[in-house]
Amino acid sequence: MRDNFVKGIYPSLNQRREFALSLCDFVRNNVHENSAAIISFSFVNTDLRDIFRYHFPMAVWALVDVQEDIAAERIRTRKGHFYKGAPVGSRVNGEVNIDSQGKEVSKQLNDPDNKDWTFASVEYPHIVLDGLDPIETNALKIFYALQPR
């Protein structure tokens, strides 16, 4: 999939769903070797969130957050990254909803090719990490959040 991104070939929503489901299977089949796993992916779209939340309902979620203008600048200066960002202030006209089987039940109205991703707000409990803090600071926050209580 990464090779296709570099060529400007982006996965369809169905391909994203299939990929996410394969990742869920991989985690479920391998997590027994460790007491925990950390999975990192973009929170931008709801499709990946919904699939992982369905398959891992007890997961702890964290979001590295920055102001929109800082995020836009970081995206703009990426070298070799397929996504250069939506215009600041653009909005998604619809969301992808995932049913309990991980199947898409409605399409994003303005983004059938995943070209214009816009951050969708996170409406469930999650840890907010400051994207301006050093990586070590945020890593410690996650470490402490994952400790047994």
How large is the average pLDDT for residues 40-48?
A: 72
Q: Does residue 130 register a pLDDT over 60?
A: yes
Please state, as a whole number, how many other Cβ atoms lie within 10 Å of the Cβ of residue 115.
Answer: 13
Task: State the pLDDT confidence band at 49, using cuts at 50, 70 and 90.
Answer: confident
Q: What is the pLDDT of residue 138?
A: 92
Q: Does residue 8 register a pLDDT over 60?
A: yes
Q: Residues 65-124: pLDDT tens digits?
A: 888 888 878 877 877 665 555 444 443 334 444 444 555 544 444 444 444 456 677 888
Q: What is the pLDDT of residue 83?
A: 57
Q: What is the pLDDT of residue 10?
A: 73
pTM given for the model: 0.63
Q: For the chain, how many helices (H) and strands (E)?
A: 5, 4
How large is the average pLDDT for residues 31-55?
A: 77
Buried b (16+ CB within 10 A) or exposed e, 37-61: eeeeeebbbbbbbbbbebbbeeeeb
| Pairwise pLDDT comparison (115 vs 135), residue with the higher score | 135
List C-alpha distances in Å: 60 to 32, 37, 39, 140.
17, 10, 10, 15
Q: What is the pLDDT of residue 2?
A: 66
Q: What is the pLDDT of residue 73?
A: 85
**Sequence spans of domains, the chain:** 2-145
